[in-house]
Amino acid sequence: MISSLMRMFRIERVFVKYGLDELFLQGTKANALRYIFLLSPTRWLNKELRERPRGERIRLALEELGPVFVKLGQVLSTRRDLLPDDIYQELALLQDKVKPFDGEVARSAVEAALGKSTDELFASFDVQPMASASIAQVHPAVLKTGEEVVVKVLRPDIAQLIDRDVGLMYTMASFASKILEDGKRLRPVEVVSEYDRTIHDELDLVLEATNASVLKKNFDEFDTLYIPEVYWDLTRTNVITLERIYGIPIRDVDAMHAINMDMKKLAEHAVEIFYTQVFHHNFFHADMHPGNIFVSDKNPSHPQFIAVDFGIIGSLTEEDQRYIGENMLAFFNRDYRRVAQLHVDSGWVPRDTRVSEFETAIRSVCEPIFDKPLIEISFGQVLMQLFQTARRFEMEVQPQLVLLQKTLLNIEGLGRQLYPDLDLWATGKPFLTDWMLKRNDPKVIGKKLMSSVPDALKLLPDMPNLVHGFLAEQGESGQRRRAEEQAALLKTQQSTRQTIVGGSVTVASAALSAGSMAASGSAGIPTLGIIGIVIGSVMLLRGLWQ
């Protein structure tokens, strides 16, 4: 508790130091917090910092707050269409320009992990890092056999730092779930739990090496994505050694134009790679921000992506994969009735949702975006409208889909940057149609049925008891339901008699009740003020993950 309070005070000081209190409190009713900030000595001691450009102030604050907040900035920096240009330009620097730690400390960590000196392990090892990120940094090296490699080393004490900040996020998420009007639907604790799992996965570099190997095997027969080789004998939990790759950073569009890169085909390859990973392999790179993506310059007419950093990988359950695929295909076909029904069937909206109303709401949001090139589509506005629709129909955030949503946003941002006229629908629809046909192929269905036979045979001896238990449960449920209906009917009858006898008293009470409900219904989401800033990662990721 003391540690969390100290961290909260530090976050407050950092936000005031860089003038973010005024930036984030604009348009709110948190007047009491404004007065508190006015009294903060941090405000008067950092006047020069508070006067710097807002984008620079946000970046500096995130860097000072550490890895969890840097990750938040990285997520935001993929959404150029949603951010003012000055903020985007600064947040983009978080992707590969985080302040490095001492290279000699990195060398010592490598030697301790691998049990030998770097002189014994490598022909050369450069203590000057070639890249530094929020979780680790990368050093170039050359093996004794002459191959060029990169050695990625975790930051010192990074696990403890992440545990501290994620623990605070849990506390704030629990608080938010209680005071937010739609806290139940947004499920902030579950979202933090999902984020907790993914960021801790990044701390295990053996897991990252495994992810890289699986992706490489999956794309062995494809020429659109290249994954570097893993050197397993030089890999441990906190150290990973990979083949060094050379390519054009995905942000360097001018360099690609200079060699006459086919930008349309490059953007189409990005979309195809996404669909292949999600629906064919069900194993997708879930951290595809620009700092992790390069393009080979070897064949500009048939461009190839090169991916690095495999700490965050996503996958879906078979049911979620099916619902997502069918939803996307229904969107492409403008079958909004099917989209609405799938949401009900999956349990993403309450079972008593009126499908016809939900269909109309989805149609009003999505219909305007079709038949337009990517450059003319405001996905930011579409997301906001879908969020409002989700609130109205009590749709809950699905934590297991957060990585997929994040990856979708990354791909859309990448496509916009490479080829603004890309037709996402024409590129994606054929792939999804083919996937659906293969999924429903009788041979595939037959194989699934045959694979389930052994499990079914195991249950066969217990089947009579299972059926009896199910029917008994349904009977008890029906009796409870009938009893509840009778109690409700009796209560209604009693209320009617009271109305006849009570007359004007009942009318007055009803008016008072109606006024109270109206006042309650007019209340918006409670303003969190600086507490909302403290859990900025929860609140901002809530916007990229709707």
Per-residue confidence in pLDDT tens, the chain, 546 aa: 666 677 777 877 888 888 877 666 554 444 555 555 565 666 666 777 878 899 999 999 988 888 777 877 776 665 555 567 788 788 878 765 678 999 999 999 999 999 999 999 999 999 999 988 888 999 999 999 999 999 999 999 888 888 888 887 787 778 767 765 556 666 678 767 777 887 888 899 999 999 999 999 999 989 999 999 999 999 999 999 999 999 999 989 999 999 999 999 999 898 889 889 988 899 999 887 777 899 999 999 999 999 999 988 888 888 888 888 888 888 878 888 998 898 888 888 888 888 999 899 888 888 877 767 656 765 555 655 666 676 678 776 665 566 777 677 777 777 777 888 877 777 777 888 888 888 776 665 566 566 656 665 666 676 676 666 656 655 555 555 555 555 554 554 454 444 333 333 333 333 323 333 333 333 333 333 333 333 343 333 333 334
Q: Which H, E and C letters describe 480-506, residue by residue?
A: HHHHHHHHHHHHHHHHHHHHHHHCHHH
Residue 334, sorted as left (phi over 0), alpha (psi -120 to 50) or beta, turns out to be left
Q: How far apart are the first and last CA of the chain?
A: 31
- What's the pLDDT at 536? 41
Torsion of CA 330, 332, 337, 339, to 10 degrees: 50
- What's the pLDDT at 418? 85
Active site residue 119: no
- What's the pLDDT at 35? 53
Tokens 């102030």 -> residue: 57
CB contact at 8 A, 60 and 397 = no
- What's the pLDDT at 473? 56
- What's the pLDDT at 475? 59
- What's the pLDDT at 362? 87
Ordered strands of the 248-249 beta sheet: 225-226, 305-307, 293-295, 248-249
Per DSSP (E only), the strands in 196-238 are: 225-226
CB contact at 8 A, 199 and 69 = no
User: What are the tokens at 227?
Assistant: 């994954």
Concatenated DSSP letters for 110-151? HHHHHSS-HHHHEEEE-SS-SEE-SSEEEEEEEETTS-EEEE
Active-site choice (81, 96, 287, 423): 287
- What's the pLDDT at 298? 94
Residue 273 and residue 219: Cα distance in Å, rounded? 9
- What's the pLDDT at 288? 79
Q: Which amino acid belongs to residue 482?
A: R
CB contact at 8 A, 342 and 330 = yes
Residue 59 and residue 14: Cα distance in Å, rounded? 12
